[in-house]
Structure 1
Amino acid sequence: MNVYDLARNLATAIKDSEELKQYEAMKSTVSQNEEITAMINDFQGKQMEMQTMQLTGQEIDAEFTGQIQQLYGIMMSDPLAAQYLQAELRFSLMMNDIYKILGEVIAPGSNQ
């Protein structure tokens, strides 16, 4: 089997994975609730802003960190938002593991 066939098999396995199916189902369910969708978008926007600040070496103040923690707490207290975040996390972890495995082949020894 050549690399392209294996890549297609991997793509199919990802598509058929419970992690992706659950994430897509939760994403569809959440998209029908404007309030939760807005809350998740706000949370993810703040997470992205914090990651950008970290990457550029900017200091992250306690107030900003507190806002993110407060939003996370609110979302985790809502069963639908919590289920969405958990499904998203499981899918992200699976994809990160796949990227790590591929990265070890492309740059051996760099992930040790």
Structure 2
Amino acid sequence: MNVYDAARALATEIKNSEELKQYEAIKATVSQNSEITEMINDFQAKQMEMQTKQILGQEIDEEFTGQVQQLYGIMMSDPLAAQYLQAELRFSLMMNDIYKILGEVINLGNNQ
């Protein structure tokens, strides 16, 4: 098997993974509820803003952090939004593990 075949096989395994199937199913359900969709989009935008500030070394004020935490709490109290976040997290963790494995194999960031 050459590297391209292996990559295609990995893509197929990801596509067939329970993590992706569950994430896509809950995402489809959530997309039918505009209120939850808006809440998730707002939360993700705030999360992205927070991560960007962290990467750039900018200070994150307590008010903003509180808003993100409050929105997270609201989302976790809604069963559908909580299911979405959990499914998204499981899929993200799987993908992070895959990226880590690939990175280790090719020694990303290692100048040896």
TM-score, length basis structure 1: 0.95
Q: Deviations over 1:5-31 (max 9, x none)?
A: 111110000000000000000110000
Q: Spell out, residue by residue over 1:67-103, the C-alpha distance to the aligned partner (whole angstroms, 9 max, x if none).
A: 0000000000000000000000000000000000000
Q: Partner amino acid for 1:7?
A: A
Any unmatched runs of 5+ in structure 2?
Answer: none
- TM-score, structure 2 length as denominator? 0.95
Q: Which runs of 4+ in 1 moved over 4 A?
A: none
Indicate the percent of aligned positions where both proteins have the same amino acid: 85
Partner of 1:103: 103
Alpha-carbon distance, 1:108 to partner:
6.2
- Corresponding residue of 1:10: 10
2-structure distance, mates of 1:99, 1:85: 21
1:83 aligns with 2:83: yes
Question: Aligned letter for 2:40?
Answer: I
- AA aligned to 1:75 is M
CA RMSD of aligned residues (A): 1.1
- Name 2:21's counterpart in structure 1: 21
What is the distance in 2 between the residues matched to 1:13 and 1:78? Answer: 31
Name stretches of at least 5 consecutive residues in structure 1 with no aligned partner: none
Aligned AA for 2:12? Answer: T
